[in-house]
Amino acid sequence: DSGVTQTPKHLITATGQRVTLRCSPRSGDLSVYWYQQSLDQGLQFLIQYYNGEERAKGNILERFSAQQFPDLHSELNLSSLELGDSALYFCASSAPSGLPEETQYFGPGTRLLVL
The verdict on 96 binding other proteins (CB under 8 A) reads no
Q: In terms of CB distance, is 2 or 20 closer to other proteins?
A: 2
50 versus 81: smaller Cβ distance to other proteins: 50
User: For the residues of 72-85, what is the DSSP string, one character each?
Assistant: S-EEEEE-S--GGG
Contact 108, 9 (CB under 8 A): yes
Pairing state between β 110-114 and 87-94: antiparallel
- Nearest approach in angstroms of CB 112 to other proteins is 15
- Single out the residue of 49, 64, 89, 105 in contact with other proteins (rule: CB under 8 A): 105
Separation between Cα atoms, residue 35 and residue 42, nearest integer Å: 10
Interface residue list for other proteins (CB under 8 A): 2, 4, 33, 35, 42-45, 48, 55-56, 58, 90, 92, 99-101, 103-109
